[in-house]
Amino acid sequence: MTDASVLLPFEPRRSTYARDGVGAATAARVSEAHSGELIDFVSRRGAIVPATLDAASYPLLREHLVRSILATATPERADRLFPGDPQQLLRPFGGVSLGSGAAGVLWALAEAGAKVPTELVDWLEGAVHGVEGPGPGLVDGLGGIALVLDRLGRPSAAARLWETIDQVPLESLGTSLADGLPGLGLALLERAPFSDADALCDRVFTIAEELVRRLDDQAESMRRPGILHGGAGAALFLLHVYEMTADVRMLDHVERALRRDLAFLGWDSLAAGGAPQLWRTRPLLGSGSAGVAMVLHEAMSYLDEPWVAEARDGIAAACEQQIGAHAGLFHGWAGTLVALQYLRSRPWDPVEVRREVVRPHLERLGHPAARSRIPYVGLDATRSSADLGTGAAGVVLGLEYLLGDGERRVPLFW
């Protein structure tokens, strides 16, 4: 059952989903395509695509990308709906999750204005109840799935998942955004609709208290930087809690978490001598410095420390200079450009101003000589990927943020 009046969890300021979508999937099923170029992902399926990446050509490219992604769907399979990075096969929940599975692909399609076939939403709803042992995580678990089911007009199915999530002991969760306490807290803050705001806020505050306790106990155990698995994810969640509570303890932990990530990334004033400058060479959204810079950008309103603005500006410059070859959202140029536009523009800027920030980079990526650098492949570059983290869905979502019409909000950032 669908309901057009359902509030959208990923865009809570908007109350209905009424954009006309792109048509249903073509009949072709391409379940195990080999690696290919950005434009090739579409052109190998017989579509005529624009030669440039800009606002004028984007609607045509978006339509063909959406159709090409839908053409890879295999609802007859039980293990996964879309091809993804091989890592999805190594996780019990990989074929279904937001980061590497069907939930992320369907969400990206909906955000791009596509009409998601009912058959595919049915697959997601059925698959999530057939997998044992998933945690409540945002990227790798039930939290992300519940948000997507709400987004796709399946509030009853989402409500069942939220009930399951509420039963998970917080002590069993880690401190990362991908599968731990920060991700669960952010998922709850994105949740809509909900019937009891007080209960939801109480749960968020309880999660924040547990996270603060765990960060105190495990300050030296975090060994990966970035918004997905490092301190930046915890900092982002605690920033939102501070905005709700004005509890200065939250800011203390925001500062510590960001300092820790920047030290891992080799930021000059915080790193040990001789540490590699990964902040400069890895400006990635999920596992590198770009996502950290976005949280630094949010923290500047509350942390009056010179290193906050200096690191934010330095990483923004690195995003302009290091546009990678991989196309993915979490680990490639799509995410880097989303971060760059976020850091170099303001929410109230006209859409033309925001687009101008990334126009030179998109022009280079769309040039025929550069297309061989833009594969839609998983991280090991062995096959085409449609997933959100490494593949075509993430690129569609990134381009929608960069070039789509109207106001754009990066999920999880307010």
Q: What percent of the chain has pLDDT over 70?
A: 80
Residue 203 forms part of a structural domain: no
Among residues 132, 130, 220, 236, which one has the least CA distance to residue 176? 236
Residue 74: closest CA among 33, 114, 35: 33
Q: Is the pLDDT of residue 4 over 80?
A: no
> What would the pLDDT profile of 330-388 be if each residue is shown by its tens digit?
988 999 999 999 999 987 888 888 899 999 888 877 655 444 444 455 555 556 789 99
pLDDT on residue 271: 79
Alpha-carbon distance of 110 to 152, in angstroms, equals 8
9 or 263: which carries more pLDDT confidence?
263
* Residue of 147 and 322 predicted with greater confidence: 147
Average pLDDT over residues 115-132: 90
Per residue in 365-376, is it b (16+ CB within 10 Å) or e — as a string?
bbeeebbebbbb
Whether residue 255 is contained in a domain is answered as no
Per-residue model confidence (pLDDT) at position 26:
29
Q: Tell me how crowded residue 207 is: count the other CB atoms within 10 A of its CB.
A: 24
pTM for the model: 0.85
Residue 189 located in a structural domain:
no
- What confidence tier does 409 reach under pLDDT thresholds 50, 70, 90? confident
- Using DSSP's 3-state secondary structure scheme, residue 360 falls into helix
Total structural domains within the chain:
1
**CA–CA distances in Å: residue 262 to residues 19, 36, 251, 279:** 41, 34, 16, 8
Any domain includes 185: no
Q: How confident is the model at residue 214 (pLDDT cuts 50, 70, 90)?
A: very high
Residue 367 counted as domain residue: yes
CA distance linking residue 393 with residue 172, whole number of Å: 31
Place of tokens 């309901």: 3
Average pLDDT of span 220-244: 91
The pLDDT, as a whole number, for residue 220 is 54
Residue 413 lies in a domain: yes
91-113: average pLDDT? 92
CA distance 150 to 138: 14
Q: Would residue 175 count as lying in a domain?
A: no
| Residue 249 confidence (pLDDT) above 80 | yes
Question: Looking up tokens 């590497």, which residue turns up?
Answer: 100
Residue 227, in any domain of the structure? no
Owning domain of residue 124? 1-168+350-414
